[in-house]
Structure 1
Amino acid sequence: MYNLLTDLSIIEVSSFVASPTAGLYCAQMGAEVIRVDHKAGGLDYDRYMLTSEGRSLSWENLNRAKKSVALDLRSGEGRELCVELAARTGQCITNLPEKSFLSHHAMKAAQPQDAPDMTSVRIMGWHDGRQAMDFTVNAASGYPLMCGPEDWDMETAPPVNQVLPAWDFITGAYCAFALLAALRHRDATGTGSEVRVPLGNVAIGTVANSGMMAEMLYRGGDRERLGNAIWGAFGRDFRSKDGTRFMVAALTAKQWKGLVEAFGVATPIAKLEAQVDTDFSEGDRPRFEHRHALFDIFQNVAGSHDYRALESRMAANGCTFERYRTAYEASTDPVLVDDNPLFGPSPANPSGFEYPATRSFANLPAHDAGDPAPAPYLGQHSEEVLADRLGLAAGAIGKLVDAGTVALSDERQ
């Protein structure tokens, strides 16, 4: 955790992936992020996979370094407390609908005169109000119908969904950026902002920003499936003699030269160049257009050597490559995890399970990254936040607890 945003407090009322990710990234940079949930836990509180004690590992990791307040968000009083917390704090991240009790208008209307002008970031589904989630916007994006083996028929083959909810994580990161941009604007002008970020717009906008939309319109049709080949450049998975699968990529002249030297294929490459009247060192286009013949040359060598020998030769020649790992192998890999300063010692996780935890992805050499912080227990900071933010006395908080409007830490449950 870096301490770059220690003067910033954010109320987060969210669930699932995108919205908690936005808060997580702010918290890892030092912001005080106060997550407000329904007293029994939000929709993602028991999201699979659960430990034997019933703790969600997903929730635990998306809510590190945050504080937790648990309110009865189904009651009028609980909702009023939530709105007041957001209003007095001045910054809110949420994925609740705009027409819910936590609208930007409601938060702004509840602000005291000395509060900073309300700034909120709201994650939506589609721009027109329709509901959406990562896997449905991905279906609309066109990407799943580009995935799969090269020989699959474009008309009849099924889509291939990605496992990673990438649009959620991209949206979360974008929302953290959008919030800080709005806060900088407020610092300059004194005027807050309502920011709405539709998940679907992040997906279709990324399709456009990547150039793929222009490509589809220019070609007047869909791109063919490429299997594991890289579109527009040289790269694919290969299999060594001992059955190890690995990925190589050559997008620059240096990478291409290193790959040719590592595989010792200068002679067959020169022969192919003469046959097709081209120079593969000139750029991506000739390598991509003749990829099948090139793939055969490289696979012939890969299939004749064990991976360790190939790995040594590729490393010596500065190639860009990586061995395929299972998710479990990646999680236990000494280079990726044990020797990586991204990971710190396991904090005291609510689940009681010890495992590597991440610091901020960014590396700021002049600043101390600190150790990873644990996720809170649900309601762990209810008393503290209500006292500090709303000025409630212990007796008033006790009455709210007795009435079931406020819940305290679920540590002992």
Structure 2
Amino acid sequence: MSSSGPLSGVRVLELGSFIAGPFAGQLLADYGAEVIKVEPPAGGDPMRRWGVVKDGQSLWWPAIARNKQSVALDLRHPDGQAVLRALAGQCDIVLENFRPGTLDGWGLGYQALAAVNPRIIVVHVSGLGQTGPRSREAGFGSIGEAMGGIRFTTGDAGSRPARTGISLGDSLAALFAVVGTSAALVERASSGRGQEVDVAIYEAVVALMESTMVDYEQAGKLRTRTGSVLPGVAPSNVYSTADGADVAIAGNADAVYRRLCDAMGRPDLTTDPRFDGHEARGRNSDVLDEEIERWTASLPAAELLRILADHGVPAGKIYTAADMLTDVHYAARQMVLRPETDNGTAGPMAGIVPKFSRTPGEVSTVGPRLGEHTRAVLGKLAGIDDGTLEDLLQRGIVAQ
């Protein structure tokens, strides 16, 4: 398992399924934590079969379960719950994304685990949080995105609220779970005590919603869907090129705008009163965008980007997966990984973010077979001897 990252020596029990909890577990494992993924013996995490499937397995599974050990354990059975409590006694973190109340119903809530291990940090990821009048409701990432406000601001003007194309709410919640885990570990180093970390998906989304609430309450401004532009800020849009690509250009700062005009060979645009200053450009953004796209449409994307880079104008092609896989900067930054496995090469998958100078972390294994580590982990951490394990196997409480 990965051991070169800054969280080397930290042991995590990952419970739950799908994206929010498991992505947090992936990140913790990327940073060197020992992550033990507990899955139901019958089928395991549905992520094993989710999304694009090839040869019976999700293509996402090797990445989201990388660096993890798989223990197949039935948490609905009292004997399985007893095993989990024993494991928690040897762990630093329990990471879970069940519906609130589920772990308490199994005798595996924070108080029960803290009685076994006072240093345990229990990280909850749920749709609506562990408290509040709606906490016990089912809450997927899409509902968190809706309640958090980002769906209302995503899409074209006049269209229905749109999805961003990825499971953004789940991923944001996972990121805050990792932040909360790290902060709780730092605090525990001085207090010696664990605690609960409560991450709600909708709150992870609303935390990124900038000044939308205060803008509405104090200025009566309701931010809504505006497609590819930010109203009042220009030029900052997506422009077509001669070879059919789309390129984002951000030239809204006065100095950058002058450099853009220089790149275009259009010094007249710097003295045109319609575009003289930030506010004027914002009022006349449609006209300005037409002038810019007339220029960008005359050039292939590679040449356009070279000219803009030479003039210090922030710009970037709108990437597809194909672009990511062939980009030299991605490669130089190790952002496309293809780990070697017993069956060949896995991936491609995203690299480790962020980069650490002394403790970089690594991807040492990809998503494991269901129950691949059941025997080893239960023997080492839960004190389960071979006879007891065989009994648990026969009764379907564990699998290997």
TM-score by length of 1: 0.86
Give me the whole-angstrom Cα distance separating, in 1, the residues matched to 2:256 and 2:34.
44
Q: Is the 8 A contact 1:349 1:375 kept in 2?
A: no
Q: Is structure 2 residue 38 aligned with structure 1 residue 44? A: no
- The residue aligned with 2:390 is 398
TM-superposition CA deviations, 1:277-327 (whole Å, max 9, x none):
x633xxx44432331221122112223333343222112112211122333
Q: Which residue of 2 aligns with 1:297?
A: 291
Query: Aligned letter for 2:168?
Result: A
Residues 266 and 15 of structure 1: is their aligned pair in 2 closer, same or farther, counting only changes over 3 Å? same
In structure 2, relative to structure 1, the CA distance for the partners of 1:182 and 1:368 (3 Å cut) is closer
SS at match of 2:90: helix
Structure 2 unaligned segments of length 5 or more: list them. Answer: none
Change (3 A) 1:121 1:252: same
Unaligned runs of 5+ in 1: 409-413
- Mapping of residues 1-400 of structure 1, within 5 Å: 2-40=4-42, 41-51=44-54, 53-100=55-102, 101=106, 102-109=108-115, 111=116, 115-127=117-129, 128=132, 129=135, 130-150=137-157, 152=158, 157-207=159-209, 210-234=210-234, 235-271=236-272, 273=273, 276=274, 279-280=276-277, 284-327=278-321, 329-335=322-328, 337-348=330-341, 354-400=346-392
Greater shift, 179-188 or 354-363, is seen at 354-363
* Distance across 1 between alignment mates of 2:225 and 2:100: 39
Distance 2:252 2:390 in 1: 63
1:5 is displaced (CA, Å) by: 1.7
Paired AA for residue 348 in structure 1: T
Aligned equivalents of 1:149 and 1:89: distance in 2?
47
Aligned residues: 387
**Structure 1 residues 366, 232: CA separation in 2 closer, same or farther (over 3 Å shift)?**
farther
Distance 1:251 1:171 in 2: 32
Q: Is the 8 A contact 1:125 1:200 kept in 2?
A: yes
> Tell me, what secondary structure is at the counterpart of 1:35?
strand
Mapped to 2, the partners of 1:285 and 1:388 lie a distance apart of: 66
Distance 1:285 1:279, change over 3 A: same
Tell me the distance in 1 between the aligned counterparts of 2:266 and 2:342: 52
Q: Alpha-carbon deviation of 1:159?
A: 1.9
Once superposed, what is the RMSD of the aligned Cα atoms? 2.4
Letter in 2 for 1:247: A
Q: What is the DSSP-based 3-state SS (H/G/I as helix, E as strand, rest coil) of the residue aligned with 2:222? A: coil
Cα distance per residue 1:148-187 (max 9 Å; x no partner)? 334x3xxxx4222211111211111111111121122222
Deviates more, 1:7-16 or 1:135-144: 135-144
* Maintained 8 Å contact 1:247/1:321: yes
Which residue matches 1:411?
none
In the superposition, relative to structure 1, how do residues 251 and 395 fare at CA in structure 2: closer, same or farther (>3 Å)?
farther
Runs of 4+ in 1 over 6 A off after TM superposition: none
1:25/1:176 contact within 8 Å kept = yes
On the 8 A contact 1:345/1:372 being kept in 2, the answer is: no
Offset, 1:27 = 0.8
Deviation at 1:336, TM superposition (A): 5.2
CA distance in 1, matches of 2:206, 2:350: 30
Q: Could you say what secondary structure the match of 1:363 adopts?
A: coil
TM-aligned CA distance change 1:205 to 1:369, over 3 Å? closer
In the alignment, is the contact (CA less than 8 A) between 2:154 and 2:224 conserved in 1?
Answer: no
Deviation larger for 340-349 or 11-20: 340-349
Contact 1:263-1:310 at 8 Å conserved across structures = no
